[in-house]
């Protein structure tokens, strides 16, 4: 597994909610802050009341091994009730790309997925790989596992909110 190949992780769950109800959570950049151990805060740089492709927001993160950092994210896909996607950092060489997707299974349930692809741009992960190139695959595997845990927490939290009627 190599960073330059864009390692990816994805998680999915079926939610007993409509695509519209699910979209309200997915398209709110503050939602993952409630559930993720790493993501600490988000804030719109551009008009958060009317986000669209090209709109930007900041994310503040914390990791026990890395410390705190802030990133600028740019929306790359914004299809209501279907896809909310963004790139971290430089659009031409992002540190990562993230997606939430919603697929309607029937009128009252959806499959909600979150996906992340690392690289190809520089990040804290690429710096770790530069210091220990012989451990690149293990470094990436560990990072993907950390991301997967946070993504599972996001989807579990969203599912509970939606199915509990608190959306």
105 contacts: CB under 8 Å, gap ≥ 6: 14, 111
Count of CB atoms within 10 A of residue 70's CB?
A: 11
| pTM score | 0.93
118 contacts: CB under 8 Å, gap ≥ 6: 3, 6, 7, 8, 95, 96, 125, 140, 143, 144
Radius of gyration of the chain (CA): 16
Kindly report, residue by residue over 54-111, the tens digit of the pLDDT.
999 999 999 888 789 999 999 999 999 999 999 999 999 999 999 999 999 888 999 9
SS3 36: coil
**CATH class for the domain made up of 3-35+80-163:** alpha beta
Count of CB atoms within 10 A of residue 116's CB?
A: 20
Report the share of the chain in percent with pLDDT over 70: 98
């Amino acid at each position: 597994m190599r960073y330059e190949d864009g390692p990816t992780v994805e998680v999915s769950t079926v939610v007993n909610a409509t695509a519209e109800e699910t979209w309200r959570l997915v398209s709110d950049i503050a939602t993952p802050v409630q559930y993720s151990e790493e993501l600490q805060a988000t804030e719109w740089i551009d008009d958060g009341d009317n986000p669209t492709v090209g709109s930007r927001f900041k994310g503040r993160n914390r990791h026990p091994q890395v410390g705190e950092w802030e990133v600028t994210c740019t929306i790359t896909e914004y299809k209501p009730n279907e896809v909310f996607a963004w790139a971290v950092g430089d659009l031409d060489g992002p540190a990562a790309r993230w997606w939430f997707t919603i697929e309607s299974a029937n009128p009252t349930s959806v499959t909600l997925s979150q996906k992340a692809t690392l690289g190809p741009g520089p990040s804290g992960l690429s710096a770790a790989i530069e210091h220990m190139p012989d451990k690149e695959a293990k470094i990436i595997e560990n990072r993907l596992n950390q991301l997967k845990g946070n993504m599972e927490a996001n989807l579990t939290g969203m599912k509970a909110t939606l199915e509990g009627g608190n959306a």
